[in-house]
């Protein structure tokens, strides 16, 4: 795994690492979990951006 400039994993990389064990058990559930996490991260980013625009 590549490491970001700050020396920590990106959120996507940590999700991928965390779900590797889950994928061997149930790959479909792991994919849904990745999608769910991505949607949550996206909605959080949108919320933070819109909060910044309102100031």
Query: Could you write out the three-class secondary structure of the chain?
Result: CCCCCCCCCCHHHHHHHHHHHHHHHCHHHHHHHHHHHHHHHHHHHHHHHHHHHHC
Per-residue pLDDT of the chain (55 residues; tens, 9 = 90+): 444 444 555 666 666 665 555 556 677 888 899 999 999 999 999 988 888 877 6
CA distances from 42 to 28, 52, 53 (A): 21, 15, 16
User: Is 23 domain-assigned?
Assistant: yes
User: Is 35 domain-assigned?
Assistant: yes
User: Is 2 domain-assigned?
Assistant: no
Q: What is the pLDDT of residue 1?
A: 44
User: Is 4 domain-assigned?
Assistant: no
User: Is 5 domain-assigned?
Assistant: no
What CA–CA distance (Å, rounded) separates 34 from 50? Answer: 24
Q: How many structural domains are present in the chain?
A: 1
pTM: 0.44
Q: What is the pLDDT of residue 26?
A: 76
User: Is 1 domain-assigned?
Assistant: no
Q: What is the pLDDT of residue 25?
A: 67
Q: What is the pLDDT of residue 24?
A: 63
Q: Which domain holds residue 41?
A: 11-54
């Amino acid at each position: 795994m590549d490491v970001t400039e700050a020396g920590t994993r990106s959120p996507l990389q940590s999700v991928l690492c965390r779900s590797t064990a889950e994928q061997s058990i149930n790959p479909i559930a792991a994919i849904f979990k990745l999608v769910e996490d991505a949607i949550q991260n996206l909605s959080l980013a949108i919320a933070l951006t819109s909060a910044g625009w309102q100031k």
